[in-house]
Structure 1
Amino acid sequence: MRERAREERARDERESERERRESARLRRREREREIRERERERERSEIASAREKERARHALPPLPRLPRSSSLSLSLSLSLSLLSV
């Protein structure tokens, strides 16, 4: 009877050890997957940023702002006023 109990304990210990190893393996795989996902997200972000910089580099420059007192501004205001009459 003691022999049988000892064999069952040994079997239970082996099973527990196998489950611990399997659990550790699954945690390690999950950690590695998360690391790969973060790396892919970082790469996607860098690519998007580079594309945006390239797009901005080729974009037209903003139009210069003229001061309100400039003669062109006054001329435009007058023209618009006359058009609305």
Structure 2
Amino acid sequence: MVRVLIYALPIILGVWAIVDCAQTPATAVRGIPRALWVVVIAFMPMAGPLLWLTVGRTRGRGSVRPAPRRPVAPDDDPDFLRGLG
């Protein structure tokens, strides 16, 4: 089982890194162009995907800005309560 893992891990990691590279927006790719990243990932079995994960893409920071807080119910909304009176 360990032998299978030794051969399967670089393949799985490489395929995942290529798919991730292809789906990453061009503005989030760092260092070299995306096509060259795919070549690096494909021809460097363990180092390529690890380089992509550490150097090639910017880290996700979640949404750009949080959504504005809104009242949960109408009776919590000051504008709604003003309209009642």
TM-score (norm 2): 0.29
Higher relative contact order (CA 8 A, sep 6+): 2
TM-score for both structures, normalised by structure 1: 0.29
Q: Which has the higher helix share?
A: 1
